[in-house]
């Protein structure tokens, strides 16, 4: 089977999931077209569960038994195929690990404190402060070069942006009042970008037999 005759990969996604957002942004910038299946998290389709038993989005299903189940892996797969902006030059594994580990830990406990009431450590405000301390360090990185790893956006910026967006949006008035003079305009720049607008259209949750939605810079609706 040639590349041109191979069925398009299926991307199981959820519009507001930060992991799915960063996967969609990398696929878009790489020029990949996929069949997008929007998932209703409370009613996950059996096809998703069959492809990936853990059933967390995003999942990129190649329809041949192979899948990619991690958002960063989806990003790297797409960019290794085509990286027109040189995003892989900013594949800072330590920075991404901090975002996906320590920062995400505090973000979850700041945004969803009721889920962690049994934990003995900090409360919501403490986790917000811990998250802010990390953002302050990232603000210094942006001050030095414009983006997190270079003067232009790279993989690290796109990998972290959806989670910083989530942190900011939980209490935007509070966030805007913080001393983050470089990170705040950095965030707004990504929010207002053509790329972000391109990956955020609303789609009806997918069901077998329903409309096929093609997602990518060449075609977004079948």
Under 8 Å between Cβ of 22 and 75 = yes
CATH class assigned to 87-194: mainly alpha
Under 8 Å between Cβ of 48 and 59 = yes
List all residues 6 or more positions away from 51 whose beta carbon is below 8 Å from its beta carbon. 10, 12, 59, 61, 67
* pLDDT value of position 41: 95
- Domain residue ranges in the chain: 10-86+197-215, 87-194
Same fold, 10-86+197-215 and 87-194: no
CATH code for 10-86+197-215? 3.40.30.10
What is d(CA 187, CA 182) in angstroms, rounded to the nearest whole number? 9
User: Closest Cα to residue 186, out of 213, 156, 209, 212?
Assistant: 156
Averaged pLDDT in 10-residue chunks for the chain of 222 residues: 76 98 99 98 96 97 97 99 98 98 97 87 89 99 98 99 99 98 99 98 95 86 44
* pLDDT value of position 119: 82
User: Closest Cα to residue 95, out of 158, 183, 51, 16?
Assistant: 158
* pLDDT value of position 2: 55
């Amino acid at each position: 089977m040639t590349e041109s005759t191979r069925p398009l990969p299926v991307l199981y996604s959820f519009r507001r999931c930060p992991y799915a957002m960063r996967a969609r942004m990398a696929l878009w910038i790489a020029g990949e077209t996929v069949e997008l299946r929007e998932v209703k998290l409370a009613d996950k389709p059996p096809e998703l569960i069959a492809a990936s038993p853990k059933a967390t989005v995003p999942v990129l299903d190649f329809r041949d038994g192979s899948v990619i189940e991690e958002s960063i892996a989806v990003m790297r797969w797409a960019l290794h195929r085509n990286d027109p902006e040189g995003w892989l030059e900013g594949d800072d594994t330590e920075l991404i690990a901090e975002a996906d580990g320590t920062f995400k830990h505090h973000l979850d406990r700041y945004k969803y404190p009721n889920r962690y009431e049994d934990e003995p450590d900090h409360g919501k405000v403490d986790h917000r402060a811990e998250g802010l301390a990390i953002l302050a360090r990232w603000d210094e990185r942006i001050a030095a070069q414009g983006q997190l790893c270079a003067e232009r956006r790279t993989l690290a910026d796109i990998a972290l942006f959806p989670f910083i967006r989530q942190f900011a949006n939980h209490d935007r008035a509070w966030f805007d009042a913080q001393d983050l003079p470089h990170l705040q305009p950095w965030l707004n720049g990504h929010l207002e970008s053509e790329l972000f607008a391109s990956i955020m259209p609303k789609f009806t949750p997918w069901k077998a037999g329903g409309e096929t939605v093609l997602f990518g810079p060449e075609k977004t609706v079948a």
